[in-house]
Structure 1
Amino acid sequence: MSTPAVLARGLHKRFVVKPAKKTVHALDDIALEVPPGTLTALVGPDGAGKTTLLRLMAGLLRVDAGELRVLGIDVAADPQAVQDRISYMPQRFGLYDDLSVQENLDLYADLHGVPRDERRARYGRLMEMTDLGRFTDRPAGKLSGGMKQKLGLACTLVRSPELLLLDEPTVGVDPLSRRELWQIVQQLVDDEKLSVIVSTAYLDEAERCARVFVLREGRLVAQGAPEEIRDRARGLCFVAAPPAGEPPRRLQARLLDARAEIVDAVPQGGEVRFVRRDNTDQAGIEALLEGAAAEPVAPRLEDGFMTLLRTQEEPAPKPAEPIARQPVPSSSTPGDTVIEVKDLVRRFGDFTAVASTSFSVRRGEIFGLLGPNGAGKTTTFRMLCGLLPASSGQLRVAGVDLRHARAQARRRIGYVSQKFALYGNLSVRENLEFFGGAYGLRGGRLRERMDAVLRQFDLAREIDAPSGQLPGGYRQRLAMATGLLHEPEILFLDEPTSGADPLARREFWRRITALAEAGTTVVITTHFMEEAEYCDRIVIQDAGRLLAIGTPREVRAQALGDEHGEHDARRIDMEQAFIGIVEKARKEKVHA
């Protein structure tokens, strides 16, 4: 029999978290076996132990107890022998922004001791797989997010490893680049019989793998082929259309709040996909649906994953309540235009990042900005927030002309950036006090708002913990709490769920739904195309141009073409629609 790529028995890893000197069991009695030449996934909620397990396999951490063999080698006894035969791509791969694509490749080839006579053929293969051959002279810092990830993978593969470890390689990557990355990985497995272990927050990615390991709080709670995990939800999955005029997210929120009957619910194609518990009374489901007909559907891996994790949870917390109850000014009503963009342009020297873009956003609306990496989303976002001046065009936010009064507008908006932008060495309490003061909150009013967001985001138990040591999901909660302290009229969220697991994403969107119901306008960018279904309307951009605007159903219909129309829009999901619209626009641009 072939030697397993990885073999673990009774694996334990503990960390002592300062300053409280609290012991955290990152991995607790893990036993698993990964066959050689296969594609394997590690999935689980934030803090499950996925990254710790990969770092142990890579010989970067020492086990506290148990046995771990990689490619037949005892990692504890000889970590260097393991590192000589594997490649590891961490979540934040260390590219050098000032070096070109070629110079980054050369640097990593030098570090790994790749002989000069082997490099030409290896580089040619990598450039062909990643389609980076046209950009060898471009500085890495000027690549899009997806291209950076592909370059990171290429640098990881400058030598031919026997085992490839990938820690969430597609976080922050758009659907087109994500598809290309997975084509590269699958090609390596098929052509080179490479063993690949990947951790991922995308359950559709894990569905491609031969075997899936599900971790939670340091323990291995399930393992098997994707269909084995899916079968946990077989016969329990349905789709239902919301009542006429009701957005799907409202029905989804109602179902999610009924945790005694419902395991999971997500908007999908203008409807709501939900998973009921296996002992649920049908009458209870019908009452929640309020007359909507439910059709059974085949389970997905994500359905089985959610079923597995929900059945292990403690009693559900209270449903999310509206956080910001900003009163609507007497001169306006819900539905009034609060953001108006006309012929917006932003140039950086000779480069046009945003080209003549126009749209409007109504009060209480959830409005999504979608596009590939480098499409101009973040530039548009920063102009809307008053953080970046426009080169030309008109831009009004909360009734203020941002060309002339950006500071006045910023007092009426909240902003949660793409990357964790709080002070990691300050505690949760200190961050809230600092940002509350920056928003002009003082004394009793500040304490009142702090108590409200601590309660709403379940942060009271972590109030004295350094924010930099919080798990990813809690850091996101704190970022949201600081952005909402001053009860803004408009909340800007830049890829807030990047890298978040399905459980954290459900919790996040339940809160956003509550905010919109209370009248807060939400503008969001995301690479999770399923999240576009929560939006009232979306915009798709590419290369600074606006390609599509409308409700999710209207955008899906646009992707299908005039010969099909809106009544067929449920036939494709938003990711398929997104890829179709972007690829069509790029082909038309080439042939123009």
Structure 2
Amino acid sequence: MASACATSHPPSDPNAVVIDGVSKHFGSVQALQGLNARIRFGRLTGLVGPDGAGKTTLMRILTGLLAPNSGHATVAGFDVVDDNDAIHAATGYMPQRFGLYEDLSVMENMRLYAQLRGMDADRNVELFSELLDFTRLAPFTQRLAGKLSGGMKQKLGLACALMARPAVLLLDEPSVGVDPVSRQDLWRMVQALTDEGMAVVWSTAYLDEAERCDSVLLLNEGRLAYDGSPGELTGRLAGRSFRLEQVGDERRTVLAEALDLSSVGDGVVQGAGVRIVLRPGAGTGQITALADRIAAQLRAVPARFEDAFIDLLGGGPGGTSALAEGLPPVQLESDIAVSCRDLTKRFGDFTATDNVSFEVRKGEIFGLLGPNGAGKSTTFKMLCGLLKPTSGEAHVVGLDLRRATGAVKGQLGYMAQKFSLYGLLSVRQNLEFSAGVYGLDGATQRARIEEMIEIFGLQPWLSSAPDSLPLGYKQRLALACAVMHRPPVLFLDEPTSGVDPITRREFWTHINGLARKGVTVMVTTHFMDEAEYCDRVAMLYRARLIALDTPDALKRGAASDARPDPTMEDAFIHLVEAEDLADVARSEVAA
């Protein structure tokens, strides 16, 4: 791949990017404040921080799309303001919403981007071939971009960003909404590029990704909060990370109690246990007493970069959900809230969901995992009554979706993967519209809307259009619209995709609180640590259900001598690879 991606002459200056005193404001909003940093060639640099920290603003300055109000920055030796044309040639940029033309094929998109770069597409057949081999898209050159999976779209975006052999590659959250298998492919490609000397800046909301970077820049409120290796920041938490083990069914209650302790700064459910991080200088007395009271085992565990990130920003949001506190306990006639049997959906010759069967208990958090295109969203839409199954049956709170779709919709809340918000309406109008759709009116409607505004901090945004909101607030608004009518069943399709870890903690505080009140929650996610928050996880692959068990049981199934303590991501990849081998064996038997 060297000929396709490496610069023509090796750089004499080891610094690919130099940022000196860069500030940027939009009206009264200070997006960046006196930023100073260096990014080196041949290294992968992670750019992390909460929503609104200034990550995308910095990316756009480095690509010459925005000019700083003060200070200056150079990329590959070129000033981002004075040498703007050279900056566009020296950088490859893949924004959060990459502009693929969905009605064009893979090859047509690549030819178009070559032309936009001033290249003669007909004279660059060899370059196209190398990029297609590098991204493993060669078999799909004639497929329309709109028909690609999320992971394949990102690979095509990367191929287009590499078109002009940039010296510096800027990737703004390239793995959002991408499954672990596709993420591995992206990592493989980026590692090859840095090995050849390219500087790669990877903005990410996945802190396990940041942990794999050579160095990280951590932004908070427009300022640089940390600049160094992930390991150095993680090392600051030595002796402060613990796990309460064998907690069992009470782990959400235990987590809420732990987060209310003055000595605890952060915590999450982790399989059958609870992971907690102590505040700086805090002793273990309170958590030891908690462990003794609930007869749990307290064990010190290695710190993670995510722990260090949350700690640096002051800790998590706490364990009490104001949303759940005001909710009466859910009462259902049956302990089974959601069920499906032999659920199948075909679109022409394509089978999106193939004979899927499972049951979800009242108050259970049930995770639906799988690679992009596995059938997760299709299954969700059938269970919500938004898609009619080709065959099979599904029930929600005892109602048959084949005959009672209208009645079912009032019993569930649905937060779509792509926000089900109305861009022409303001935030307040979206809340009012959703309340009306779910039959709330009069004083009840007004009270519920005010409750959502207060719980989710929407007051400053009420007159704004949803598209103008930071991502975290878009997600809060979408969740508010889904839960305002207090449904006993909640469907969340990638609810935290792209948001920062602190906002994810806030969402899961609400989800855990709702489950404790008896709300049944079905959730899809590509954050593998979030899969550990679930009671059980169903794994879909190629439209079929290939595994259904607790997170801990799925991890045990992936254990080996080489990997005695696998992660959920390891379990995910193990299941996919095992199914691929089983498919090969079935094909050989059939032959």
* TM-score bracket relative to the smaller structure: over 0.9
| Superposed displacement of residue 298, structure 1 | 2.3
| Superposed displacement of residue 118, structure 1 | 5.5
Any idea what SS the aligned residue of 2:249 has?
coil
Residue identity matched to 2:237: A
Mapped partners of 2:245, 2:21: distance in 1: 47
Residue identity matched to 1:511: H
Number of the residue aligned with 1:92: 97
Mapped partners of 1:325, 1:398: distance in 2: 18
| Superposed displacement of residue 558, structure 1 | 3.3
From the superposition, tell whether residues 7 and 117 of structure 1 become closer, same or farther in structure 2 (CA, over 3 Å): same
**Residue 179 (structure 1) aligned with residue 161 (structure 2):** no
Number of the residue aligned with 1:278: 280
Deviations 1:350-377 (A, max 9, x none): 1111111100111111111100000000
Unaligned runs of 5+ in 1: 17-22
| Superposed displacement of residue 120, structure 1 | 2.6
Residue identity matched to 1:53: L
Number of the residue aligned with 1:293: 297
| Superposed displacement of residue 385, structure 1 | 0.5
Number of the residue aligned with 2:410: 411
Deviations 1:318-350 (A, max 9, x none): 654515635544744xxx112110111100001
Any idea what SS the aligned residue of 1:440 has?
coil
Any idea what SS the aligned residue of 1:246 has?
helix
Mapped partners of 2:260, 2:128: distance in 1: 53
Judge conservation of contact 1:11–1:67 (CA < 8 Å) in 2: yes
Residue identity matched to 1:281: G
From the superposition, tell whether residues 124 and 318 of structure 1 become closer, same or farther in structure 2 (CA, over 3 Å): same
**Residue 585 (structure 1) aligned with residue 579 (structure 2):** yes
| Superposed displacement of residue 408, structure 1 | 1.4
Mapped partners of 1:162, 1:453: distance in 2: 47
| Superposed displacement of residue 159, structure 1 | 2.2
Judge conservation of contact 2:368–2:540 (CA < 8 Å) in 1: yes
Residue identity matched to 1:246: D
Q: How does 1:345-494 map to 2 (within 5 A)?
A: 345-494=344-493
Deviations 1:401-427 (A, max 9, x none): 111221111111111111222123433
From the superposition, tell whether residues 270 and 573 of structure 1 become closer, same or farther in structure 2 (CA, over 3 Å): farther
Equivalent of 2:258, from 250, 255, 260? 255
Q: How does 1:163-312 map to 2 (within 5 A)?
A: 163-190=168-195, 192-243=196-247, 245-258=248-261, 260-289=262-291, 290=293, 291-310=295-314
| Superposed displacement of residue 461, structure 1 | 4.2
**Residue 6 (structure 1) aligned with residue 5 (structure 2):** no
From the superposition, tell whether residues 465 and 108 of structure 1 become closer, same or farther in structure 2 (CA, over 3 Å): closer
| Superposed displacement of residue 573, structure 1 | 1.5
Deviations 1:83-108 (A, max 9, x none): 01111000111111111111111111
Judge conservation of contact 2:239–2:300 (CA < 8 Å) in 1: yes
Any idea what SS the aligned residue of 1:171 has?
coil
Mapped partners of 1:330, 1:116: distance in 2: 62
Residue identity matched to 1:591: A
| Superposed displacement of residue 256, structure 1 | 2.7
Judge conservation of contact 1:11–1:27 (CA < 8 Å) in 2: yes
Out of 45-54 and 434-443, give the one that drifted further.
Answer: 434-443
Deviations 1:121-173 (A, max 9, x none): 22222222221111111111111111111111111112211110000000000
Q: TM-score, normalised by structure 2?
A: 0.93
Number of the residue aligned with 2:63: 58
Deviations 1:267-324 (A, max 9, x none): 334322221112213222223333423222222221221111116x9x9796545156
Judge conservation of contact 1:324–1:520 (CA < 8 Å) in 2: no
Deviations 1:432-457 (A, max 9, x none): 11111111111101012112222322
Deviations 1:192-235 (A, max 9, x none): 21111110011111122221110011111111111221122122
From the superposition, tell whether residues 328 and 420 of structure 1 become closer, same or farther in structure 2 (CA, over 3 Å): closer
Mapped partners of 2:325, 2:580: distance in 1: 41
Judge conservation of contact 1:396–1:402 (CA < 8 Å) in 2: yes
Unaligned runs of 5+ in 2: 1-11, 587-591
From the superposition, tell whether residues 570 and 265 of structure 1 become closer, same or farther in structure 2 (CA, over 3 Å): farther
Residue identity matched to 1:340: S
Number of the residue aligned with 1:514: 513
Judge conservation of contact 1:67–1:74 (CA < 8 Å) in 2: yes
Deviations 1:551-584 (A, max 9, x none): 21222233349xx9xxx99821111101100111
Mapped partners of 1:321, 1:388: distance in 2: 29
Mapped partners of 1:555, 1:410: distance in 2: 32
Out of 177-186 and 454-463, give the one that drifted further.
Answer: 454-463
Residue identity matched to 1:206: A
Residue identity matched to 1:443: G
Judge conservation of contact 2:266–2:277 (CA < 8 Å) in 1: yes
Q: How does 1:521-532 map to 2 (within 5 A)?
A: 521-532=520-531
From the superposition, tell whether residues 490 and 323 of structure 1 become closer, same or farther in structure 2 (CA, over 3 Å): farther
Identical-residue share of aligned pairs (%): 49
Q: TM-score, normalised by structure 1?
A: 0.92
Residue identity matched to 2:394: L
Judge conservation of contact 1:242–1:251 (CA < 8 Å) in 2: no
Mapped partners of 2:121, 2:471: distance in 1: 41
Q: How does 1:136-155 map to 2 (within 5 A)?
A: 136-155=141-160
Judge conservation of contact 2:93–2:171 (CA < 8 Å) in 1: yes
From the superposition, tell whether residues 10 and 569 of structure 1 become closer, same or farther in structure 2 (CA, over 3 Å): closer
Judge conservation of contact 2:319–2:509 (CA < 8 Å) in 1: no
**Residue 543 (structure 1) aligned with residue 542 (structure 2):** yes
Residue identity matched to 1:124: S
Any idea what SS the aligned residue of 1:250 has?
helix
| Superposed displacement of residue 505, structure 1 | 0.8
Judge conservation of contact 1:370–1:538 (CA < 8 Å) in 2: yes
Judge conservation of contact 1:269–1:572 (CA < 8 Å) in 2: no
Number of the residue aligned with 2:124: 119
Equivalent of 1:131, from 115, 119, 136? 136
Judge conservation of contact 2:135–2:189 (CA < 8 Å) in 1: yes
Number of the residue aligned with 1:575: 569
| Superposed displacement of residue 464, structure 1 | 3.6
Judge conservation of contact 1:42–1:199 (CA < 8 Å) in 2: yes
From the superposition, tell whether residues 549 and 527 of structure 1 become closer, same or farther in structure 2 (CA, over 3 Å): same
Residue identity matched to 2:581: K
- CA RMSD for the aligned pairs? 2.1
Mapped partners of 2:225, 2:318: distance in 1: 20
Number of the residue aligned with 2:3: none
Aligned residues: 573
Mapped partners of 1:579, 1:126: distance in 2: 25
Judge conservation of contact 1:559–1:580 (CA < 8 Å) in 2: yes
From the superposition, tell whether residues 13 and 425 of structure 1 become closer, same or farther in structure 2 (CA, over 3 Å): farther
Judge conservation of contact 2:361–2:520 (CA < 8 Å) in 1: yes
